Amino acid sequence: MAKPPLSHYSPKFANKAWADSQGYTSYFYCSYTDEVKKSPKGWKQWGRKLGLYSWSVEKSLGQELETLAAPIYEKIVSYGELSESDRIIWAQFILSQLVRTPTHMKYESKARELFRITEEPKHCRVGCKDCLDLNFVANRDWCLLLAHEDDFFVRSDNPILQTGFIELPETCLFYPLTPKLCFVACSMADSWNAFDNKTNETCGYQLDKGGAHMLNFYIARSAGESLIISPKDDGVIAERMYGDILGLYPQPPFSLHVLDDDPKYAFESIRKIMSQTDGFEYPNWQLDELVPFYQRKRSAGAA
């Protein structure tokens, strides 16, 4: 039997910005001591798990998605102009990042068990350029958040912080690109139509001091078991925050539920899947400081 792949659920090209010549610092939950600890990690040694998916999926993620997304990532972090095709590929990458993590796959497995689902989706991790769901990301306004010179962003093992179902206009998605830069697919007006919207030009905003730490709070809280921080940014503040809140409320797997006419029912269904999986009664999902998050030219932002 072939050895299972060392599956990269957070690709190396998108993680290396957090590493110095030695690597990252990782905060992680230790199941043996029931504590959050930290340790150095080589820059290729985080964001992977043995046998998370098959060799065919691992190869498809690299060949069909990451080789296309990596140069777009470089465009974004260098403030380059994106084509319509770039936006579609980046939307595909963002949605793929949501469904390829150990956290999502754990909840997905439980949902399949609860609802006795046996059919395998055709594009479960890689996605495809023709998926209509891409419109819910590609046709939002996008912005970039620049951390204050004294602040920084972290990255968790649930790299995307998604505030709600992508079908809902008020939902937004945060994806730290580097310790200084965070991508946002913004909330939209109630009248937004994901299939015919003409987006505004991507804007960049300088956050006030402390603004990045507010995001880091939710990023760390929605982790599965670990996050990475640039070694130069590590210190007492990080130890206190991440030691207390790491993984307290993992990123909800919103894509497991088809949104119907009552979002409250859909949110409750996701909460129940998480609670039954983890053996913990999660409260309602609330991100009051982050929802909604608009481009400022449309409405006041939350940052």
Cα 154–Cα 158–Cα 161 angle in degrees, nearest 5: 75
Distance CA 157, CA 225 (A): 7
Q: Which residue's structure tokens are 């599956």?
A: 7
| DSSP H/E element including 26 | strand 24-30
pLDDT at residue 86, rounded to an integer: 96
| SS3 category, 145 | strand
Sequence-ordered list of residues with C-beta below 8 angstroms from that of 62, at least 6 positions apart, any chain: none
The pLDDT profile of the chain, 303 residues, written as one tens digit per residue, is: 678 888 889 999 999 999 988 899 999 998 888 889 999 988 788 999 988 888 888 888 888 899 999 999 999 999 998 999 999 999 999 999 999 999 999 999 998 888 776 666 555 777 777 788 999 999 999 999 999 999 999 999 999 999 999 999 999 999 999 999 999 999 999 999 999 888 888 999 999 999 999 999 999 999 999 999 999 999 888 888 898 999 999 999 999 887 776 888 899 999 999 999 999 999 999 888 887 888 875 433 344
What's the longest Cα–Cα distance across the chain?
57
How far are the Cα atoms of 18, 96, 135, 233 from residue 146, in angstroms, in the given order? 15, 24, 25, 15
**How far apart are alpha carbons 34 and 3 in whole angstroms?**
30
β strands within 43-125, DSSP E? 48-50
**Kind of pairing between the strands at 161-162 and 48-50:** unpaired
